[in-house]
Amino acid sequence: MLVGDLPSEDDVQHLSSVWQRRSHVPNHVFATIEALPVSTHPMTQFVVAIMSLQTESQFSKRYARGMSKKEYWDAVFDDSMDLIARLPRIAAYIYRRKYKNGEHIQPNGLLDWSGNFAHMMGYEDESFHELMRLYMTIHADHEGGNVSAHTTHLVGSALSDPYLSFAAGMNGLAGPLHGLANQEVIKWIYELREEIGAEIPSKQQIEEYVKKTLSEGKVVPGYGHAVLRQTDPRFTAQMEFGKKHMPDDPLVQTVWNIYEAVPPVLGSIAKIKNPWPNVDAHSGSLLVHYGFVEYEFYTVLFGVSRALGVLASLCWDRALGFPLERPKSVTTKLVNDWLAGKEEIWEG
């Protein structure tokens, strides 16, 4: 993600080894997590843990000593590598604390980054490890305009270190219009099945439920995207995984039925430019198949993956010397003029 090339097997082994060596999490981070009520949302615990880990920032320490601007990228890279290496340990600790009575599992240094994450959460099925490799890859990042990527870039433009910048991005990811959407998809499907009274609703039943959802002024979670104008290729990748590992799973089959039923309904509404599914429409059903039913935690998985993309971008921000970002200011007069048709508010 830094250089735009697919890694060789040697590259993968080297990176896994580097992250394993950098993965130690200081005890005060676990103590900070433990100071929160267990009932605290996993994303809140995740962000608090990242903030407590900021004590380890090399960028912050080197900047305080008078680091040259030419060295910014190197310090950001160092912090980014440490943070990426430590996130699976932190996330797995939160998962086991909240859902598994605090019965923690120690890391296995012989496993790769994603496999070790799955292991520390308590999932040893090799196909689940394969799913985590897929999940961590396709949720990393796809463009810089989404909330978590842009927020990380924005906060980093103030020369906030990668820990502060990434924590800010994760607060954006926690919103229901962003990373929380995968949680909303599963909730919506459960409500669909309960109301219809069928484990695998028919396409016609789904169509009627979708129309009812829209008539109530609600959205169909997992459908539509601000940028894409086709089926999200990350959805397709997950669908292929499902066909390989769980073709007869009722929840997965429901997702596929929704995929056939929803786009025609949404496409008939003129203002909807993209009726196709995005990445969130499928990810939860694959996790549920393996017994990973704690959907409040799904956004944390998303966050661990997203670090790969946004921190790689942050390294380039500092290497290229991008300036402090400052959005245009809008006055009340400008808004009034725009409402009166006298001014194009977004010009300039």
Token pair 């459908």: residue:
223
Strand partners, 250: none
- Is 289 one of the catalytic residues? no
Q: Widest CA span of the chain, in angstroms?
A: 66
State the virtual CA torsion across 164, 117, 20, 130 in degrees, nearest 10: -120
- Is 178 one of the catalytic residues? yes
- Is 28 one of the catalytic residues? no
Catalytic entry in 129, 139, 153, 178? 178
Pairs from 268-274 (Cβ < 8 Å, separation ≥ 24): 269/214, 272/224, 273/229, 274/224, 274/225, 274/228, 274/229, 274/230
Distance CA 151, CA 310 (A): 9
Strand partners, 277: 223
Distance CA 327, CA 123 (A): 44
Catalytic entry in 119, 129, 153, 225? 225
Strand partners, 223: 277
Catalytic entry in 112, 141, 280, 317? 280
Please, what is the end-to-end C-alpha distance for the chain in angstroms? 32
Find out whether 182 and 280 touch, Cβ atoms under 8 Å: yes
Question: Among all residues, which ones are annotated catalytic?
Answer: 178, 225, 280
